[in-house]
Each structure stands twice: as structure tokens, then as C-alpha cells.
Structure 1
Amino acid sequence: MNAISPGQLSDWLQHHTDANAPEALPVVLDVREPWELQTASVKPEGFELVAMPMRSVPARVAELDRDRPIACLCHHGARSAQVVQFLEGQGFTHVVNIHGGIHAWSAERDPGVPVY
């Protein structure tokens, strides 16, 4: 499984953004629960933010585009790692885990994101 830190996200986005299809931005798939999204959320800058709680991913996997790069995000990185493994098992090939989750996001990328 591939993983990146929140601090590496900008480079990952740049590498995975198709200049010929700017409408098809990479996806940050936030697999946290709705109450967690209300507590702390990220601003979609250079990516499309999709909220899909981990437990709903198997039933909603058809909503995800297999051709778009996906970076999975949770609180600390454990749930998102499980989702990456699931998606890879479903044939997704451009999927990474954001190691450290939104907690690390606050430290490395946007200190305005609350820590919980």
C-alpha cells in the first residue's frame, strides 16, 4: 500500500492532476464519521473532497471513479489504510493512504484544522 503524509499531498496532487482534464481533479476520500467532519474538516484545494464514512464504502464503491487518483483520509490513518486495501482489492490502482490522517494534516498542512 502506498502512503503519503499531508505535507507530501501537494506534490502528489501535482503529479496526479491531468492538465488535459482539469475537471477530473484527484479525490481526497474522507472516510471519517459525520460528527468528525463537523469537528474538523479540510478545504478542497486542488482536489475534490468526497465524504464517505468507512462503513459505507463497500455499498457506495460504485460512486468512485476507478480512473481518478484517490487519497484516503481519516483521523490518524488506520481506517483510511483499511479503505485503501479494500479499494485496491476492488481493482483501484491509483490509491494512497494519507498517513497520520487529519491530525497530521493540522500539524503539517493547515494549523487552522482543529485537533480532536
Structure 2
Amino acid sequence: MIEQVYPRDFDTWLAAARAHGEPLVLDVREPWEWQTASVRADGFELMTLPMRAVPVRLHDLDRSRPIACLCHHGGRSMQVAAFLAHHGFEHVANIAGGIDAWAREKDPNLPRY
């Protein structure tokens, strides 16, 4: 089962994830979405990779590294998280509610779309 992390609880997840390596937030939205609104990498690395490109770039990701997947509302990121887990990634989470919830719960200055 994929762990669901709400943005309001992200810092707790981040602290626990560090026991397994440098955390990565994998933003699987489209480029126009990143330009509209993006999280600020603070205590984690941020990688932008559209969902459609994940299978081709799977070799660029470290299977042992903690990865939290992010999209607009949590649907695409959940699919990517399940795909990663299926391919042997050990510490995968989905940011529940996506960047929309991030804007509501964690960073009210972030534009919503």
C-alpha cells in the first residue's frame, strides 16, 4: 500500500524519510503546470518529470531513495507512486491532494489553478 502524506504532515514525513536517504519530491505534472505553481525545495530535492516520461526515465531514479510523488490533485502522482513501488522502489509516498492541497495547507501564497 502506498503511503498517503497530506501537505500539512509533509515535514513529519520528511524527517522520517531522511533515515533512508535524501528525500526527493517527484513532480509528475506537465511543464505548463510547473510554470503556474511549484513547490519550493526546502529540505528535499525537487525533480520535475511529466508522468508520461517516468517509464523512460526510470533508470534516473534511485530505488532506495525516499520519493514523494506530487501532481495537481493526487491522482496522477498516486499512479506514479504505484508504478515505482511495482518496480522495486522501497520508500514511496503520494502527496495526497497534490499541489492544490499544498497551497491550502502548507503555502497559501502558492497560486491555485
Q: CA RMSD in A?
A: 1.1
Percent of matched pairs sharing the same residue: 56
- The corresponding residue for 1:3 is 4
Structure 1: distance between partners of 2:109 and 2:22 = 24
Distance in 2 (CA, whole Å) between partners of 1:2 and 1:41 is 22
Given that residues 84 and 92 in structure 2 are in contact (C-alpha distance below 8 angstroms), is that contact kept between their aligned partners in structure 1?
yes
Q: How many residues align?
A: 112
Cα deviation for residue 17 of structure 1 reads 1.3
Question: Where do 5+ consecutive residues of structure 2 fail to align?
Answer: none
The CA distance in 2 between the partners of 1:39 and 1:113, in whole Å, is 9
Match of 1:110 in 2: 107
Deviation at 1:112, TM superposition (A): 1.1
Q: Displacement, 1:102?
A: 0.1
SS of structure 2 residue aligned to 1:56: helix
Unpaired runs of at least 5, structure 1 = none
Q: Distance in 1 between matches of 2:75 and 2:61?
A: 20
Trace 1:38-49 onto structure 2 (pairs within 5 A).
38-49=35-46
TM-score by length of 2: 0.96
Q: Which runs of 4+ in 1 moved over 2 A?
A: none
What is the one-letter code of the residue matched to 1:6?
P
